[in-house]
A = this chain, B = another copy of it.
């Protein structure tokens, strides 16, 4: 099944808001075999909304809109589409009552009279209850079976409605074994794209009917296999097999799949082994700690850390030797090692992780250019170090350094 998306709103068109709804809908619908073939964005203008929906209906026969269902005079989706389908807008007292109750439940407040407009329904429309907000979703279908579904624009409401109502409804229409666009991601880190391609050999071209995309980013290179010509069950089987082949070919550079977060995986590994962690950060300034503590429940593994931005903090709080700083410099294997060992000692943890580097844009030299990073992981009487020169801006270099330090720990833990 092919569907078009029309996203509605001046804020979107003017660029004040980034359109994340369209991408979410496309990814979610792809999984049940629906292909998005066209997307349009128009402002809060009745004629333009009607024209965009009409064009989509004529091309594809199936349109999902987001936005313009709110209670204010800017919100023109309902009247625009009712008119396009030649329907009257009629007040639905059941919906009025639902909105009234929702206001009372959420904020002990009376429903403002302006919200009544959200209970206006085109005659013959299918009302899809919104348990995530006030505006119900509406579906209209013409005599040729061509349809439009109107979703609210607030991302939380749009996502909730899509998952609990739209997906089941459309799955029924798509039928039993639709051709689906399904993908599998194998996440790698610590290896460049060309080295990865070399390891993959012929697999780099993808496998029968499953093209492979290389997606590099600061977390590493993701390998994404996509199936777009098989029924969903067969696609999942083929992808799982193919992903397994990729994992075997790439080996220890693979750390996870789909949207796995390396920090969460490493925390779980430490929890399993009853290990505690401390961090010592220079150029990342707390970013590694922030990443680890972004994960709920991290407190049973992560004890804390020292942001040793200035060298005085490295010596005072972490016990880095003055001689190491003067002989090797703050960005060096030796200082990284002493920082990792020092934070584990100072905070009384089994594992210490350290990052020291030059994030730029200033501070680089011929010998140690911007992007130079030293990482150390101390634990179980052993300290492993890693030196890298990263390409990218300040943010990218810092993010890459946190990922590399977590990967060092992952590799060390795999041996335990």
Chain A residues packing against B (C-beta within 8 Å): 12-20, 22-27, 30, 36-43, 48, 52, 55, 181, 224, 279, 281, 283-290, 292-294, 296-299, 302-310, 312-313, 316-317, 346-348, 360-362, 394-395, 398
- For A348, what are the chain B residues with a Cβ–Cβ distance below 8 Å? 312, 316
- For A284, what are the chain B residues with a Cβ–Cβ distance below 8 Å? 290, 293
Is the Cβ of A347 less than 8 Å from the Cβ of B14? no
Q: A14-B36, A38-B40 are in contact. Are A307 and B309 (CB under 8 A)?
A: no
Is the Cβ of A395 less than 8 Å from the Cβ of B304? no
Cβ-closest chain B residue relative to A347: B313
Task: For the complex formed, measure the closest distance between the CB of A62 and the CB atoms of chain B, giving whole angstroms.
Answer: 15
Is the Cβ of B290 less than 8 Å from the Cβ of A286? yes
Cβ-closest chain B residue relative to A41: B39
Is the Cβ of B303 less than 8 Å from the Cβ of A306? no
Is the Cβ of A13 less than 8 Å from the Cβ of B36? yes
Is the Cβ of A304 less than 8 Å from the Cβ of B304? no
With A13-B26, A286-B289, A304-B309 already in contact, 17 other A-B pairs whose C-beta atoms are closer than 8 Å: A15-B30, A279-B307, A285-B290, A285-B292, A285-B294, A286-B288, A287-B293, A294-B394, A294-B395, A298-B309, A302-B309, A303-B310, A304-B307, A310-B347, A316-B346, A316-B347, A317-B347
Is the Cβ of A302 less than 8 Å from the Cβ of B285? yes
Is the Cβ of A304 less than 8 Å from the Cβ of B308? yes
Is the Cβ of B26 less than 8 Å from the Cβ of A14? yes
Is the Cβ of B23 less than 8 Å from the Cβ of A20? no
Cα distance A77–B296 when bound, in Å? 45
Q: A19-B19, A26-B15, A304-B307 are in contact. Are A43 and B37 (CB under 8 A)?
A: yes
Task: For the complex formed, measure the closest distance between the CB of A214 and the CB atoms of chain B, giving whole angstroms.
Answer: 12
Is the Cβ of A296 less than 8 Å from the Cβ of B15? no
- For A38, what are the chain B residues with a Cβ–Cβ distance below 8 Å? 13, 40-42, 48, 52
Task: For the complex formed, measure the closest distance between the CB of A139 and the CB atoms of chain B, giving whole angstroms.
Answer: 22
Is the Cβ of B19 less than 8 Å from the Cβ of A15? no
Is the Cβ of B36 less than 8 Å from the Cβ of A296? no
Task: For the complex formed, measure the closest distance between the CB of A399 and the CB atoms of chain B, giving whole angstroms.
Answer: 10
Is the Cβ of A309 less than 8 Å from the Cβ of B317? no
Is the Cβ of A290 less than 8 Å from the Cβ of B293? no
- For A313, what are the chain B residues with a Cβ–Cβ distance below 8 Å? 303-304, 347
Partner of A306, one of B19, B24, B307: B307
Q: Closest 10 CB pairs between A and B? A: A285-B293, A286-B289, A286-B286, A15-B26, A15-B23, A304-B313, A39-B41, A15-B27, A287-B290, A305-B307
Partner of A15, one of B36, B293, B305: B36
Is the Cβ of A24 less than 8 Å from the Cβ of B30? no
Cβ-closest chain B residue relative to A25: B15
- For A287, what are the chain B residues with a Cβ–Cβ distance below 8 Å? 286, 289-290, 293
